[in-house]
Each structure stands twice: as structure tokens, then as C-alpha cells.
């Protein structure tokens, strides 16, 4: 892993705001699963983006439907994985 690809913050809230602020332009659509972590859509709206919800199939991301949702108004798919818990060591 390249050190340039690591982000360190004092909590998840900062990261959930920094990522869309850095990568989503005002008015741009962001593709989300319709059953997702609430802050994804909230942070998208805070920075002026528009959440586009794609239904899940049997509680699994429908990747084909997400791909079909891509158009000229969006270029982001909000679905990154952040895995840090108090029990883990860095």
C-alpha cells in the first residue's frame, strides 16, 4: 500500500465530510445503494451534491443497476470501505 493513499483523522465524521468535499462537485450526482449508511447521503447534500439511490437486490448491491445509473451528471459511486475499530492496531 502506498502511504499517499492513507488518510488519518480523529474520527469517521471528518472523513465522511472530507471525501465528498474533495471529490464531488456542486450539483453532481452521487450513486448510493438505497439501503446505505445515512451519513453518505447527508454529506453529499451538505456539499451540494445530489444523492441517487439504486435499489438493492436481496440485501446485496445491484452492481448492474448501479452501472446503469451512471450518466454525464455523475462520476462518483459512494461505497468505500473504512475499517478501523478500537480493537484494531495500526
Specify the pLDDT at position 48. Answer: 92
pLDDT digits (tens, 9 = 90+) for 47-90: 899 999 999 888 888 889 988 988 888 866 555 444 444 544 44
Beta-sheet pairing, 74-77 with 29-33? parallel
Cell 465524521: give the residue. Answer: 13
Residue 87: CB atoms within 10 A of its CB come to 5
* C-alpha grid cell, residue 32: 448510493
CB 20 within 8 A of CB 28: no
User: Would you say residue 11 has pLDDT above 70?
Assistant: yes
Please give the grid coordinates belonging to residue 82: 473504512
Tell me, what's the pLDDT at 89? 45
Phi-psi category of residue 70: left, alpha or beta, with phi > 0 → left and psi -120 to 50 → alpha: beta
Q: pTM for the complete prediction?
A: 0.69
Question: Tell me, what's the pLDDT at 82?
Answer: 42
The tens digit of pLDDT for each residue in 20-55 reads 888 888 999 988 888 877 888 888 899 899 999 999
Domains of the chain by residue range: 10-77
Amino acid at each position: 500500500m502506498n502511504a499517499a493513499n492513507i488518510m488519518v483523522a480523529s474520527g469517521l465524521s471528518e472523513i465522511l465530510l472530507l471525501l465528498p468535499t474533495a471529490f464531488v462537485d456542486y450539483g453532481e450526482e452521487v450513486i448510493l445503494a438505497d439501503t446505505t449508511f445515512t451519513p453518505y447521503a447527508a454529506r453529499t447534500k451538505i456539499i451540494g451534491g445530489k444523492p441517487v439511490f439504486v435499489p438493492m437486490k436481496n440485501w446485496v448491491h445491484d452492481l448492474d443497476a448501479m452501472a446503469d445509473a451512471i450518466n454525464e451528471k455523475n462520476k462518483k459511486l459512494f461505497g468505500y470501505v473504512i475499517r478501523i475499530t478500537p480493537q484494531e492496531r495500526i
